[in-house]
Amino acid sequence: MFAKLAFTAILGLASVPAFAACDVTIEGNDSMQFNTKSIVVDKTCKEFTINLKHTGKLPKAAMGHNVVISKKSDESAVATDGMKAGLDNNYVKAGDERVIAHTDVVGGGESTSVTFDVSKLAAGEDYAFFCSFPGHWSIMTGKIELGS
């Protein structure tokens, strides 16, 4: 019993997940890039957390980044509507039901995160994660899918 607890404590300290990782950290920089193009969400996760870290120095008004998740087929329209919504709304249209999850917009040196129910993702559907800051989504985009 003691050995098992100690072992668990060591694993915890080392941040080694005992099961599937139900989170991912994405970095965005001052060159308008994410450091990943693909995220697979393990289907055993109930919730999944996206951590966004802006590793640059520019303020969010100039080089802000967020992470928005939608179906790939909705990406363009969600980004266009988000652009009109403005920075005060994190470049996401209020109440946009096509948006599965989104973070706030952050500037250089800042971090944020969002957690969503994995049940919102369907197997076999193409989803995109992207930054909806004006002009960013065509480059800052990647694929997110439910793992099999």
Q: Could you tell me the smallest distance in angstroms from the CB atom of residue 133 to Cu ion? A: 4
Nearer to Cu ion, 42 or 143 (CB): 143
Residues that contact Cu ion, how many (by CB under 5 A): 5
Site for Cu ion contains 65 (CB under 5 A): yes
Residue with tokens 């697979």: 40
Nearer to Cu ion, 26 or 100 (CB): 26
Q: Could you tell me the smallest distance in angstroms from the CB atom of residue 93 to Cu ion? A: 17
Site for Cu ion contains 67 (CB under 5 A): no
Nearer to Cu ion, 93 or 136 (CB): 136
SS (H, E, C) the chain: CHHHHHHHHHHHHCCCCCCCCCEEEEEECCCCCECCCEEEECCCCCEEEEEEEECCCCCHHHHCECCEEEEHHHHHHHHHHHHHHCHHHCCCCCCCCCCCEECCCECCCCEEEEEEEHHHCCCCCCEEEECCCCCCCCCCEEEEEECC
Site for Cu ion contains 146 (CB under 5 A): no
Site for Cu ion contains 133 (CB under 5 A): yes
Kindly state the tokens that stand for 84: 């009109």
Q: Which of 131, 144, 145, 146 binds Cu ion (CB under 5 A)?
A: 131
Site for Cu ion contains 93 (CB under 5 A): no
Which positions lie near Cu ion, rule CB under 5 A?
65, 131, 133, 136, 140
